[in-house]
Amino acid sequence: KRIRELSKRAHVILVPEMNLGQMILEVQRVVREEIPVIGVNKIGGVPLTVEEILKEIESSAERSRHRSAD
């Protein structure tokens, strides 16, 4: 319920996961394709770094700007 509420104020939802993307499926189900949901996945027991997450945030923002310009 909270994710759905927050999705109304966002342009994109980023889902960092240390697996193959099980949580992103639930987030996509909840937001019902109203906004893009992007997964940042890493397996092997090594946590995602701040830099990896930041890189995806920056990439997502850039893609969002391009969509807005079209």
pLDDT tens-place values along the chain, 70 residues long:
889 998 999 889 999 999 888 999 999 999 988 889 999 999 888 899 999 999 999 998 887 777 767 6
Structure tokens at 54: 């930041």
Tell me what pLDDT residue 70 has.
66
DSSP category for residue 9 = T
Cα–Cα distance for residue pair 62/15, rounded to 1 Å? 17
| C-alpha to C-alpha distance for 3 and 52, rounded to whole angstroms | 23
SS3 35: coil
- Give the rounded percent of residues in the chain with a pLDDT score beyond 90: 53
Give me the pLDDT at residue 28, please. 94
Q: State the pLDDT at residue 30.
A: 93
